[in-house]
């Protein structure tokens, strides 16, 4: 009897059909020790079968090279690709095809992620630069989770672009560099550069307004320009048009393990 050739069936979304791939070689999966299970879920390395099956590379059809004799970047010139990596490539390819058809959605979500990164960086910086322990509050945790999610969205889309796009490697590198530079700017400018004093400014504004309430005045804004240690130097704008130079003294006071104690005093500078 003729030996049956082993195959795997993979659904290819762009063709909208299941394609049969002959298995070129297979070996027991080392990650799950051939059990097909990892943390009670199908092992992602071997697609839950317990053995890693190598297929002809779906990008170069096993020829090891793509257009103009360039080495295939998907199989790294080996001509074969595991079932799991084949699935990963197909998913990334699908992302790129969808992006070419409808780029607006991904671009808008990407921009929203950059804005979210900026807001989170602004928020978190305002606390982190005063006292690192102030980060132990639930709204900072939420800010960090939102920020990491936004960053994760951008990075995973870049990875899909790298895996699934047919653009030249240099173009892909340029796109990634530009997006990463935008991401760094979106974090740094509203965050450490412009946002490091915002918490102190809003606290000081409230304190000054309270002190001026008797005279029917209020503080419109506080701008801190520098600090040495726990003393913050800045200018307060008063509702009657005056601008006052101030020093904000931030002091740690007795605290419990769960709560941070502090006091803030604002002093006008003659």
Binding site for Zn ion (CB under 5 A): 29, 31-32, 43, 45-46, 57, 59-60, 72, 74-75
Q: What single DSSP character describes residue 167?
A: S
Q: Strand, coil or helix: what is 260?
A: coil
- Kindly tell me which of 39 and 226 has the beta carbon lying closer to Zn ion: 39
Q: In angstroms, what CA-CA distances link 225 with 67, 95, 129, 193, 252?
A: 57, 46, 14, 11, 21
- Kindly tell me which of 32 and 124 has the beta carbon lying closer to Zn ion: 32
Min dist CB 100 to Zn ion, Å, is 21
Bridge partners, residue 110, by sequence: none
Min dist CB 21 to Zn ion, Å, is 13
3-state secondary structure 19-33: EEEEEEEEEECCCCC
Min dist CB 62 to Zn ion, Å, is 7
Min dist CB 152 to Zn ion, Å, is 25
Q: How far is CA 138 from the centre of its chain?
A: 20
- Kindly tell me which of 37 and 211 has the beta carbon lying closer to Zn ion: 37
Q: Strand, coil or helix: what is 184?
A: helix
The pair phi, psi for residue 3, each rounded to 5°, is: -75, 130
- Kindly tell me which of 61 and 137 has the beta carbon lying closer to Zn ion: 61
């Amino acid at each position: 009897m003729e030996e049956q050739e082993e195959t795997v069936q993979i659904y290819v979304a762009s063709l909208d059909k299941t394609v049969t791939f002959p298995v070129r070689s297979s070996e027991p999966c080392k990650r799950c020790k051939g059990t097909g299970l990892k943390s009670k879920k199908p092992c992602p390395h071997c697609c839950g079968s317990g053995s890693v099956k190598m297929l002809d590379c779906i990008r170069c059809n096993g020829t090891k090279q793509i257009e103009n004799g360039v080495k295939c970047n998907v199989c790294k010139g080996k001509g074969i690709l595991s079932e799991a990596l084949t699935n990963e490539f197909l998913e990334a390819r699908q992302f790129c095809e969808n992006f070419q058809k409808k780029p607006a959605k991904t671009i808008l979500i990407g921009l929203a992620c950059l804005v979210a990164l900026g807001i989170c960086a602004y928020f978190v910086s305002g606390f982190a630069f005063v006292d690192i322990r102030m980060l132990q509050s639930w709204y900072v945790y939420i800010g960090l989770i939102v920020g990491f999610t936004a960053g994760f969205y951008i990075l995973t889309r870049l990875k899909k672009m790298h895996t699934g796009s047919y653009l030249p490697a240099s173009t892909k590198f340029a796109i990634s560099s530009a997006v990463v530079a935008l991401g760094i700017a979106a974090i740094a400018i509203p965050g450490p550069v412009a946002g490091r004093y915002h918490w102190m400014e809003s606290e000081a504004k409230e304190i000054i307004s309270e002190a001026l309430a008797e005279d029917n005045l209020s503080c419109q804004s506080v701008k801190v320009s520098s600090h040495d240690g726990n003393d913050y130097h800045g200018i307060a704008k008063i509702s009657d048009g005056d601008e006052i130079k101030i020093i904000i003294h931030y002091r740690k006071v007795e605290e419990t393990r769960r709560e941070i104690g502090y006091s803030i005093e604002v002093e006008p500078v003659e």
